[in-house]
Amino acid sequence: MMAAERGASANTLAAYRRDLEAYGLHVAAQSRDLKSAGPEDIRSHLASLEASGMARSSAARKLSAIRQLHRFLHGDGLSGDNPATAIESPRAGRPLPKVISEAEVAALIATAKARVPKAKGKALVKAWRLLCLLELLYATGLRVSELVGLTVRAATAERDFILVKGKGGRERLVPVSGEARGALSDYLKVLTAGDGGGSNWLFPSSGAAGHLTRQHFALELKALGREAGLDAARLSPHVLRHGFASHLLAGGADLRAVQQMLGHADISTTQIYTHIQSDRLRDVVEAHHPLSSKKS
């Protein structure tokens, strides 16, 4: 059915075969066959997968194959009911975002600044562009797609804010620090004097999109990280966005304000950053709570 009716690929068929063969062996070990399997068989199979250390995301994929099998058996009249309807998917824990320290951000920016005096011609524009990208990203927490897709007008229409069009076409005003605004101003002067002065894009490119791609920025960021002596594998534009949010919260910023700046529709998405503050909060309690062992 998967091959004939759904046109599933060979890789998909092979994955389903492996998952269902393992499930079939588990059911057979309970002296039952697939047509007579019940919810307890599915639950015990999932429990054995979890006990083996399998990730919840992988277990959820295997459960999807089991569900489709029982839906097929029941739909074709080969079994009396569908035992998979009573089974909930394993809940995958939300991974904590990768973090970057304030010292590491400072090292990145210092390294980018050091490139500027050494650069000439087009290399000078690229050096200022990277510095401007860094300053804006860390100062605003924009998504990388929002950052590279900025127009000159959106970035300069307001002195202290940038107008951003985010997910779902929702627009928001994001405040910009004086340091980032200065880097933006200096970059625009160099850009205007060069070949990119006639473009509407803030970070123009000769590529199909017309502006710098997020992939190219990510590569430049990793190269800069290596030059700064940092682990390039840990660096990405999204990590800097995480740094913006976590450093603001560590400094006492209001969660709702951070939510608005990040452009999160749901505050629960922003709350993930509060979890990475757990060590700092524990230290605060231990240092200041009247019954703390450190105060006694």
Catalytic residue among 45, 129, 143, 242: 143
User: CA 181 to CA 124: how far, in whole Å?
Assistant: 19
Is residue 273 flagged as an active site residue? yes
Of 183, 196, 171, 77, nearest to 139 by C-alpha is 183
Alpha helices in 194-250 (DSSP H): 214-227, 237-250
Is residue 143 flagged as an active site residue? yes
Q: Which residue has the tokens 């075969």?
A: 17
**Cα 197 from chain centre:** 32
Catalytic residue among 17, 71, 167, 280: 167
Counts of helices then strands in the chain (DSSP H, E): 14, 2
Q: What share of the chain is helix, strand, coil (3-state, %, to 5)?
A: 65, 5, 30
Is residue 189 flagged as an active site residue? no
State the DSSP H helix or E strand holding residue 113, giving kind and residue range, or none if neither: helix 102-115
Catalytic residue among 45, 211, 241, 247: 241
Give the residue numbers marked as catalytic. 143, 167, 238, 241, 264, 273
